[in-house]
Structure 1
Amino acid sequence: MADLYNVGKNLCRAILGPLYRVEVHGRENVPKEGAVLLCSNHISNLDPPIVGMMFPRPVAFMAKEELFSAPIIKHILPHLKAFPVKRGMSDRDALRKALAVLKEGEVLGLFPEGTRSKDGKLGKGMAGAGFFALRSNAVVVPCAVIGPYKPFGKLKVVYGKPLDMEKYRQEKVSAEEATAIIMNQIAELIKKYQ
């Protein structure tokens, strides 16, 4: 499985890297081990491969359930560590899978907005990101994808400093409040690197 993940990652790098001239900032902010909740803004359908291929560790992304019905993609996604989530409702299987990824000390990738931004601006984050941040021992790595996605234009992927959520766990902040903290960090990265 790891081999297929690396093959997919290298293939994405070979095709998408030169096409969008991806520039990465903050790779040094990524913890080398331990559970990480990677939270990014969402401006394109290409965000998951772009964010994942540049991240130094394998990333398990939650992906909308519909993708797992697409003819070719449905066979590829599981090898890329993606797993389905039903949108618009509470999906207990997806919640359990996501928490298991973090419990195993791996990286869970999320787009807290829940859907792609139509205008490229950062939207409101949903409570899911805060839920996972508070219910696990993961640190949160905020991420900003700064476009636009124009062939041979420049695209930036920025990984921010990890957020230790332990203080917020002890203060018993709500999932919504935790998500707002995470979204604020993503907004700061966009502002700084745009």
Structure 2
Amino acid sequence: MALYTFARSVVAGILKPTYRVKVEGIENFPKEGGVFLCANHISNFDPPIVGITAPRQVLFMAKAELFKIPVLKTLLKDFGTFPVNRGGSDREALRTGLKILKEGNVLGFFPEGTRSKNGELGKGQSGAGFFALRSNAAVVPCAIVGPYKPFHTLRVIYGNPINMEEYRAKKITTEEMSAIIMEEIGKLLKK
């Protein structure tokens, strides 16, 4: 935790003034309990930007390829990041994500599964719906509104948690739930 806190303040000291980061809706972020935080993905800087603007430590799922780089692998593990094999169902990653949420922590997730090439919001993968429906965590949409240009304003908007009781009662599919999450992120992007 001490390493995370130190690294967070160093990264914040660099990124916040460089990108003139403005945070909106922080009051919507639950102070305790499991939180499934879903954001759009426009840059490699998105995880650190979410990490420095969220009021609680965020644990991320990251592509397994990053864990093949020795120094990066160590850092990612130290920060609580865990690998996912993309392109299929990675049961170990799904179990790890559910465990994080069950223990009352924050799981950071980019439902699109990859960065948007044109900045437009893409389609959400079914993994987002899986975590939202299979956990009792609060599902918080987040919009990162760029561009990532030095000394231009970058906005991070946290929306109200999605009312999951309604969707769980309807027994909707993971694909339908992912689409709803993406719709909520889209609304924040239009703000």
What secondary structure sits across from 1:23 in the alignment?
strand
Which residue of the partner structure matches residue 88 of structure 2?
Answer: 89
Structure 1 residue 72: Cα displacement = 2.0
* 1: CA distance, partners of 2:163 / 2:75: 33
Name the structure 2 match of 1:187: 186
Task: Give 1:181 shift.
Answer: 0.9
Alignment of 1:1-194 (within 5 A): 2-192=1-191
Contact conserved, 1:142 with 1:162, CA < 8 A, in 2?
yes
Deviations 1:117-168 (A, max 9, x none): 0000000101110110000001111000000000111100000011121221
Identity of aligned residues (%): 61
What amino acid maps onto 1:125 in structure 2? G
Per-residue deviation, 1:80: 1.3
- Read off the aligned partner of 2:118 and give its amino acid letter: D
Residues 94-139 of structure 1, C-alpha deviation per residue, up to 9 Å, x if partnerless? Answer: 0000000000011101000000000000001011101100000011
Asked if 2 retains the 8 angstrom alpha-carbon contact of 1:63 and 1:85, the reply is: yes
How does the TM-score come out when normalised to structure 1? 0.96
Q: Secondary structure at the match of 1:75?
A: helix
**DSSP-derived class of the 2:70 partner:** coil
Please give the TM-score of this superposition, normalised by the length of structure 2: 0.98
Q: In structure 1, what is the Cα distance between the partners aligned to 2:106 and 2:163?
A: 15
In 2, the alpha carbon distance for the partners of 1:174 and 1:145 equals: 26
Name the CA distance, whole Å, in 2 between partners of 1:11 and 1:83: 22
Comparing 174-183 with 64-73, greater Cα deviation is found at 64-73
Structure 2, unmatched stretches of 5+, are none
Tell me the distance in 2 between the aligned counterparts of 1:141 and 1:67: 26
Secondary structure in 1 matching 2:139 = strand
Aligned-pair RMSD on alpha carbons? 0.8
Number of aligned pairs?
191
| SS in structure 2 at match of 1:72 | helix
Residues in 2 aligned to 1:81 and 1:14: alpha-carbon distance in whole angstroms: 21
